[in-house]
Structure 1
């Protein structure tokens, strides 16, 4: 059965209405998955259609557990249906909402809201049952690409080793707290009353909190002033050089990891080649530069090539 047919079948089952048609006219965004807004019986929902190959990349059972935890903490939208086999999810749509990427990820008000949400999840006493280890995720993705008979960039192995050696030498202290691990500005949603939510917890797991900080900086392409504002608001003071270096390392690791993730989508037939190239070119530049001079600024690392 095609995924679209399965989504429609689930909608009819959940709402006990065999006349429901899976309506894809109101696209709500997504890279890993495709999200659509549907009005059913007067209530608007976000219906998630899982993207290609995601069943191999994401543990939906873990995601379901973690989604329940964050919903209880009031951090995410209300989920009314979650199929841990297919990954289809139905959530209540946050009315009149916009994601922070649509508003302004660099504004002080939005940075303050993002920082507050990250601190809330990072300090939560409700821990996730799993850990997010980017190296293990990378190895898993590499294995999938090999099974798809895909190729890597010619200098991939050498630059990956260069990054791992640099991280082993420079990252000394890590902690493990609940993390979202995909803190792109599109995942922060603001309602018409100014309340901010953090959605899409499929990569969530215990990790170092600097990973989330690094992700928001990188994915939002924050300006130098916005980066300083976030660091001061999140940490309470400007971080030590060792913490700054950890953030830089995680930024490079994220470009590498999500580039390989995108390669899987490319080799499975989706249009992700430009995304692969953009992330890899930035990774190439940053890893080559920072291993010569670790003073290379975070703001310079964010820029596209």
Structure 2
């Protein structure tokens, strides 16, 4: 059946008691074209003269009734911060109804009950849907490292005669139907720079260098197009194109594989951010997160004054976002998964109480010593220091030396040896490194040498890496993020800067010379090397623990283990020759 006759038949099924004028209005066809198409449908025994379904029409509907639906709900929804710290975005409520439940109910309205949901982040929160709506869950174990193309790949065997649906979409009217024939992808009539696909009047999707129609994420696939899409998914996953979105599999060079369908932008809402949820339903209970309540109470504002929320680069320990309120920017830190096992927030609080008046750290407005939520003023017009720019490095070491000379004292220490064993115990499994026990034994042998050569014992930053030094346009430098700080040997901070920067031996020596202003004795230099080995083992164990939670830090984890391995040997060889 051609597309025009399909449109007429679909309108007749969905809207009983129509006349030609109403059909013309609903299809945007002229009255003459409507009359002609109705005549052909009657001749071909799809409809009777009174527009009721005839035998061929009933057969056609049975053959082209959508059979199933796949809902993609595995991702973090990072732009939903701070909401996504408490609930996955598919379960956000709009007018008292979770987004995914509304989608399921709309599918049920058109008699689609074969529904599978691909889950990942906070997957357990979706479990109740199995009993409530008789759906099935497909678990995506790689939701944190692969985009939604992998989620759809996991459901590739059930795409024919079915819908693909994102979980974060809200429709005022039901977008699904009891009758579908040609495949289609849903676009909005709104144009955006984020899309380079434009839908023509005849539903063809064409590539454009100009702003294209906004891509909504819903599609219907018939048998033939589902097979093509499945082949594309297989090819892309085989090529490890995990950073792709599933829609990329619909494109072949600059050709879009299926037709486009347009709806007015006003008829749907895509909930990708806190502000979009606020705009759709300002009374949603999910707007009342702990982070937002802290902001309201601390800044003495209503949540409607919080805007321009942006997720910051995901840290190794925390999730943070910046926002604007009354023409000023702030940062809210939300502790990451498992952080409570790694950091004593009361100790962090005590550190900030010591240094809060220093001009080189951030202005903390709120810090909860029990859970680690932190609200601070945004340091405007600053950038992270560059560990490969020696002018920056010189500024960092000058500030670090100044801090160390102030000799702050707190009531807790950062016991690096205890922390090494603690992180090792947290992973609850043997190390992935085959020679780990040998490396650890070598590192532990350095302990007496280090302890015999400590000259100062004061508050240290511990995580004094280049990213935690900020430099503004006037050259002023700041040191932020003191959550690991405690009493230690200041030389440890030098080693930590080096191993985080990935310095080789030559760069390491240059760093030491900058800090010590070319006046570092040999024993101290080798003690700092020893700290590089100890710090490498510490962060290697830390990485292994975090990886057990599904977080991967790539080459950083291997680099830390290499520092433990190589610098422990370096110092042990030095000590052996010295004591010979």
Q: Which TM-score applies when normalising by structure 1?
A: 0.84
* Match 2:500 to one of 219, 223, 226: 219
Offset of 1:171 from its aligned partner?
5.2
**Equivalent in the alignment of 2:416:** 134
Offset of 1:97 from its aligned partner?
0.6
Offset of 1:266 from its aligned partner?
1.3
**Equivalent in the alignment of 2:445:** 165
Q: How does 1:1-305 map to 2 (within 5 A)?
A: 3-4=85-86, 5-15=289-299, 16-19=301-304, 25-100=310-385, 104-146=386-428, 150-152=429-431, 153-169=433-449, 172-174=452-454, 175-222=456-503, 227-272=508-553, 275-292=556-573
What SS class does the counterpart of residue 520 from structure 2 fall into?
A: coil
2:533, 2:566 within 8 Å by CA — same for their partners in 1? no
1:252, 1:287 within 8 Å by CA — same for their partners in 2? yes
2:360, 2:478 within 8 Å by CA — same for their partners in 1? yes
1:166, 1:291 within 8 Å by CA — same for their partners in 2? yes
- Distance in 2 of aligned mates of 1:186 and 1:209: 19
1:86-116 deviations in Å (ceiling 9; x for gaps): 211111111011010xxx3233321221122
Name the structure where helix makes up a greater proportion of residues.
1
Unaligned stretches of 5+ in structure 1?
A: 296-305
Offset of 1:27 from its aligned partner?
1.2
Note the aligned Cα RMSD (angstroms).
2.6
What SS class does the counterpart of residue 270 from structure 1 fall into?
A: coil
Unaligned stretches of 5+ in structure 2?
A: 1-82, 87-288
Offset of 1:242 from its aligned partner?
0.6
Paired residues, what number?
Answer: 289
Distance 1:281 1:217, change over 3 A: closer
- Distance in 2 of aligned mates of 1:276 and 1:106: 20
What SS class does the counterpart of residue 25 from structure 1 fall into?
A: strand
2:307, 2:324 within 8 Å by CA — same for their partners in 1? no
1:28-85 deviations in Å (ceiling 9; x for gaps): 4521112322112211011112111111110101101111222212220101011122
- Distance in 1 of aligned mates of 2:449 and 2:511: 26
Q: Which TM-score applies when normalising by structure 2?
A: 0.46
Computing the radius of gyration from Cα coordinates, the structure with the larger value is: 2
1:173-219 deviations in Å (ceiling 9; x for gaps): 11201210111100000112110000000111111111011111222
Distance 1:106 1:223, change over 3 A: farther
- Distance in 2 of aligned mates of 1:106 and 1:71: 29
Name the structure where strand makes up a greater proportion of residues.
2
